[in-house]
Chains A and B, each alone.
Chain A
Amino acid sequence: MNEPILEAGAVEQGTSLWKDAWIRLRRNRLAVFGLVVLVSFVILALLTPWIAPYAYDDQNLDLGATPPSAAHWLGTDIFGRDLLTQILYGGRISLAVGFVATAVALLIGVTWGAVAGYVGGRVDAVMMRLVDILYALPFMIFIVLLMVVFGRNLLLLFLAIGAVEWLTMARIMRGQVQTLRQQEFVEAAVSLGLSPATIIWRHLVPNALGPIIVYTTLTIPSVMLLEAFLSFLGLGVQPPQTSWGLLISYGAETMEEYPWLLIFPGAALTLTLFALNFLGDGLRDALDVRGSTD
């Protein structure tokens, strides 16, 4: 942000970081749009079992694939299943994978990177070499191995994806922490006798939030795509359960005959990804501590 948003007096009143950010976020229209879209998708996903017009596995083979109509707003697939219902149920899985796996990645990555960056020295070297080694592993093989060893279930799928997505997050966090810990406010905190854990969580992490949030909003869509890919290989969600990624991959098979089977799930995913990107941009600007104190 170029212009100072808060008046000089406001800083002295001591608004919290979060309140500050919220005020700035609200002024960013695109970010608000993103937030509204996301929140409504999440609400729809939560309410799906009550609002879906049909049961998600309700087939009508004689009906087959039909274009959108009054009975089926978004049409039906080749089994005569209502596409709107499929998208609603698919959204539950896709959003859950997106958020849970990203949260796992965030938790591991931020902690790992912050500790490595703060402690430095030999610990840092060892921790980051481990990250390098994991990077070198073909991640698909890693996920496939996890799924094969522990069997197939949805929660594990979330964790497995999270467990391979944290590496970049750790690197970004380490870089941020390394620059931040040279600064005076960290030295001040150290001289006040705060424990390293407190310093990391109270001082370093909030200051590194910008890049982390941007990267998070990028991770969510990539995780959703990864889930679709795994499901396609038979390692993720299996029919009749579905996800947006699966709906799109099935829709692409028949896009010439039944285009609506690709268009609507594609639109749902695209809209979510846009919303995430706008929100991510807005959050980064809103949370940029340095920008606000100018």
Chain B
Amino acid sequence: MRSFICKLLTPLILLLLVGCSAGESNVSQGNREGILHFGNGSEPQGLDPHVVTGVPESKLIDALYEGLTRKNPWTLEPEPGAAASWTFSEDRRVITFKLQPEGRWSNGDPVTAHDFVWSWRRALDPAMGNLYAYMLYPVKNAEAYATGKLQDPEQLGVRALDDHTLEVTLVEPTPYFLQLLDHYSTFAVPRQVIEQFGEATDRFTRWTRPGNIITNGPFRLTEWKLNRRIVVEKNPHYWDAEAVQLNGVVFYPTENLVSEERMFRVNQLHYTNDVPLDKIPAYRAMPDSPFVEAPYLGTYFYLLNTERPPLDDVRVRKALSLAVDRAKLARSVMHDLVTPAWSITPPGTLGYQPPKLFGYEPERARALLAEAGYPGGEGWPGLELIYNTSESHRKVAVALQQMWKDVLGIEVTLSNQEWKVYLDSVSEMNFDMARRGWIGDYVDPNNFLDLYLSDGGNNNTGFSDPVYDEMILERAPQAKTREERFRIFHAAETRLMEEMPIIPVYTYASKHLKHPSVKGLPPNLMDFVNFKTIRLEPVDVHEFEVP
């Protein structure tokens, strides 16, 4: 029992001590020493760019590694990263990258084109089990290699012409390809270190531990205390080290939004990962509010396991989706922060508008459920909805649980799981229904639509439609104009939503609390943080008084 009471009291006591003592807060100390204290949501699953899939991991990896390109946080345009420049061939199918002449790993070794070739082969190796392998599918033969149809890695469309020249051959001219290169699944990983701790394709070996890991980004890992903090410091070997303004970043796993918000208020964090929903009205009303909200390229939805009854029946899936009053949820539970979603792609991605095939239709939902053999919920076998532990996920789940009960008369039980457990359950399809959010890795509808390819690593629903696959993989890339491409996407997405393997709930908005001393961290559509551009200009705020 004592351990429980300690667990409950320790944070409170710490908070009191921190709040009352004259000791220096994280923020003022950080401002002095150039250290950013960053709330990062969950404890990361790992730091291997070819293994992880989550947003908390992506923040860390963006600080530690660097892809061929790096996004500008204001415009989201790809700018030179590990590649200093690139040229396209006439037909835009071959890209030649010149790497940074001074590009170095954090141990001083040069970053070469061979590193990228080796890493891309690793990322695509079927033995690696990389759920993001399909990000590289625009590269010639990548799909065949990743699905085991092609054994010879030499035939992949990526070659090192010399130490600093990388040639990439694409299947089709891919308009968003340069954006992909800022996604961690295309990053270079240190071959030498990985092979020292196991096979190239071993997952979760000790190579990502502090002391072992070497990276090529603006920062390097110095400390990883499980569930407490991860510390990175400026990488002196980084090619553009002079441009890096921070001396280091401390990442905190802040799964509990309420504690995170309190930490922010007493100057323990510069930047929070999220804001508790119920605090939003108060923060909005604050003068000079540290509250930052922005549209976010992401969709919040529930995955339906189409391989398990009763969800193997499309009528049941539709009934569940039609019974959700999204407008009411957005208004009352989410404080008008988000907008209802009716499909997987966020509206307006590069100007693309997804289909809206249905609305809140309780009558039709009941009729569909009755047709499927459960009139008024009679004979309903029960369903379990899993979500990763978080107050906001719980709130959405509780609200939807009740809507289903009121409209359809069916019981859905809830079960929360810790982030890593949840990720495992989802990837092994060990669930009936699972909360899911998908955040754009690059700004293009393709990033959302290729989730539901039959063999997509992040499909996780059992949805499989050869026509859909063909539209996304063959027809859309060959489209001559953007309008034609979007028409194909629209048709494909209509097919997808007619099968309803997911229940779209809302389109995300990002929300953070940002200390006024933090500069160079603009809100953007992808909630992308470029740690390279962040600087600290000390502003003294003793404590944030929320009205």
A-side residues, CB < 8 A to B, are 57, 59, 61-62, 64-65, 78-80, 138-140, 152, 222, 225-226, 229, 233-234, 238-240, 252-254, 256-258
Contact = CB atoms under 8 A, between A and B. Distances in A.
B4 A62 contact: no
B417 A240 contact: no
* Max chain B Cβ within 10 angstroms of own Cβ: one of A152, A229, A238, A257: A238
B278 A234 contact: no
Contacts of B332: 61-62, 64, 80
Interface stretch (B108-116, B215-223, B391-399): B391-399
B333 A238 contact: no
Interface string B23-35: 0000000000000
Contacts of B7: 229
A253 B1 contact: no
Contacts of B416: 234, 238
Which 3 pairs show the lowest CB-CB distances between chains A and B? A234-B416, A61-B332, A222-B1
What is the predominant secondary structure among interface residues of chain A facing chain B? loop
Contacts of B364: none
A91 B416 CA distance: 22
21 contacts: A59-B398, A59-B402, A61-B325, A61-B329, A62-B332, A64-B332, A79-B398, A138-B3, A222-B1, A226-B1, A226-B4, A229-B4, A233-B389, A238-B415, A239-B397, A239-B401, A253-B257, A253-B258, A257-B278, A257-B279, A257-B282
Contacts, number: 74
A162 to B, nearest CB: 14
A253 B401 contact: no
Nearest to A226: B4
A238 B4 contact: no
Nearest to A254: B278
Interface of B: 1, 3-5, 7-8, 257-258, 276, 278-279, 282, 325, 328-329, 331-333, 389, 391, 394-395, 397-399, 401-402, 405-406, 413-418, 546
A111 to B, nearest CB: 22
Nearest to B262: A256
A186 B282 CA distance: 70
Contacts of A138: 3
Contacts of A65: 278
A239 B414 contact: yes
Nearest to B329: A61
Nearest to B387: A234
A225 B328 CA distance: 34
B413 A238 contact: yes
Contacts of A140: 3-4
Given A61-B399, A233-B389, A253-B276, 8 more contacts: A62-B328, A139-B3, A226-B1, A239-B397, A239-B401, A253-B258, A254-B278, A257-B279
B402 to A, nearest CB: 4
Contact of B414 (A64, A225, A238): A238
B61 to A, nearest CB: 28
B119 to A, nearest CB: 37
A104 B5 CA distance: 22
Contacts of B8: 229
A119 B409 CA distance: 59
* Max chain A Cβ within 10 angstroms of own Cβ: one of B8, B278, B329, B401: B278
Nearest to A80: B332
A61 B333 contact: yes
Contacts of A78: 278, 333, 395
A57 B397 CA distance: 13
A57 B398 CA distance: 9
A258 B397 contact: no
A22 B180 CA distance: 78
Given A229-B4, A234-B416, A253-B278, A239 B394 contact: yes
Contact of B405 (A57, A79, A256): A57
A173 to B, nearest CB: 19
Contacts of A57: 402, 405
